[in-house]
Structure 1
Amino acid sequence: MQEVIRGLFRGAKRGVLTSKKGRNFYKGNRTGSMGRHTKHGGYVIDLDKVRTFVVPDMTNCELQPYVSRRTGKFKVDPPTSNLFSKAE
């Protein structure tokens, strides 16, 4: 409900687009296409569109990790109801 009010405040004429609304509109997930559809119902993958990640060789790298591997392990107790009760 808060998103709808925020949208109206900004001057939007539409509500929030969810999977329940806009039955004929595909929102998508911003990943892009990796190929194309054929006229026979198949799909052809274009290797120029496929994401590939090139990882450099890091064997002689001078950079250190953010957290030392020698950092000791510690345990955190789960929260209890006493933490959420009102302080009097």
Structure 2
Amino acid sequence: MSEYQYYELVAVDRQLSREEMGYLRGISSRAQISSTRFCNTYNYGDLKADPRQLLAKFFDAYVYVSNFGCKVFAIKVPRNLLDEALLGICWLQRGS
């Protein structure tokens, strides 16, 4: 059975610089990269970076879907807008 993984990260509040887009190109030579988006599909292999770190550093939203049942949707919001105890989870480690 073949593998399918879809990654998409989107910047809403700002545009990525040429240097940032170059960094992302170093992660994947086949990805669709623009000043606000990184999108790639993998049929063999995997993303060569931690998407949580990419979200924290460059983007505002993240979507991941795989044919083996994993689905992830994440958005970045200012920490002071959320009560982590109320949520009961913290996706990113403190200090990331």
TM-score interval, normalised by the smaller of the two chains: under 0.3
Larger Rg: 1
As a proportion of its length, which structure holds more strand? 2
TM-score (norm: length of structure 1)? 0.19
